């Protein structure tokens, strides 16, 4: 059962190199696991990381290398890095103009329900898009947050998570002002009949990253009943 409130610390990383941020997630995850093992009566502090990465492509553990359309030389020419990682899902891009959001939550202080967790992550994004006048939705059987109809369906936010002893890592890639040309080098999420879009294009106006981050923090606090410390 979800408690009335959980404490969260906000971290913001600008121009984040992927490997170092991945390692930082792992360190926070291990702290929460150790706190769980100690049987402490104190409520843990959860973490919410906002990162604007240097250009990087990441491939989830169930993904296919066929969905990366660049070889090593092509990645070097694009000044992009590539990592195979331990989240769910297929391939995606992180980079400038995108908030990559990493909740490091001990879900046992919320609920034990992975499906609900992913739906609530998506709901956080939908609250933000609605705030700027853009209606988005989920697609049954697919993760992420979408806009458009039929063959014009486009993803504005990708979702891919990892759990260890009910502690989460990885999370969401939310295209705010992202240069969508980066996605031309992959088959995003391994889905070749749908596209990607940014919130600024949907809203038909550039959006300040800090403004969107504030909306995201407010949405996470509302959906997950968080108190910032």
Q: What is the set of active-site residues?
A: 189
3-state class (DSSP) for residue 183? helix
Query: Both tokens of residue 132?
Result: 């700027």
Paired strand residues for 53:
16
User: Mutual orientation of helices 114-131 and 209-224 as an angle, nearest 10°?
Assistant: 140
* Rounded Cα–Cα distance for residues 172 and 159 (Å): 5
CA distances to 70, 90, 106, 153 from 65, in Å = 10, 9, 31, 24
Question: Where would I find the beta strands (DSSP E) of the chain?
Answer: 6-16, 45-53, 56-59, 81-84, 91-94, 98-104, 145-147, 154-164, 167-175, 195-196, 226-228
């Amino acid at each position: 059962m979800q408690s009335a409130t959980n404490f969260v610390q906000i971290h913001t990383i600008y121009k984040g190199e992927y490997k170092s941020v991945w390692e930082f997630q792992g360190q926070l995850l291990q702290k929460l696991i150790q706190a769980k093992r100690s049987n402490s009566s104190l409520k843990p502090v959860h973490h919410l990381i906002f990162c604007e990465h240097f250009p990087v492509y990441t491939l989830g553990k169930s993904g296919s290398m066929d969905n990366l359309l660049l070889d090593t030389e092509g990645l070097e020419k694009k000044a992009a890095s590539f990592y195979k990682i331990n989240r769910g899902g297929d391939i995606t891009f992180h980079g400038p103009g995108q908030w990559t959001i990493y909740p490091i939550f001990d879900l046992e202080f919320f609920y034990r329900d992975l499906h609900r967790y992913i739906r609530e992550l998506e709901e956080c994004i939908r609250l933000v898009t609605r705030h700027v006048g853009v209606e988005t939705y989920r697609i049954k059987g697919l993760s992420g947050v979408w806009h458009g109809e039929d063959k014009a369906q486009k993803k504005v936010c990708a979702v891919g998570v990892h759990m260890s002893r009910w502690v989460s890592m990885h999370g969401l890639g939310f295209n705010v002002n992202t240069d969508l040309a980066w996605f031309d080098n992959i088959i995003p999420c391994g889905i070749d009949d749908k596209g990607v879009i940014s919130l600024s294009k949907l809203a038909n106006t550039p959006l300040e990253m800090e403004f969107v981050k504030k909306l995201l923090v407010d949405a996470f606090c509302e959906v997950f009943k968080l108190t910032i410390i």
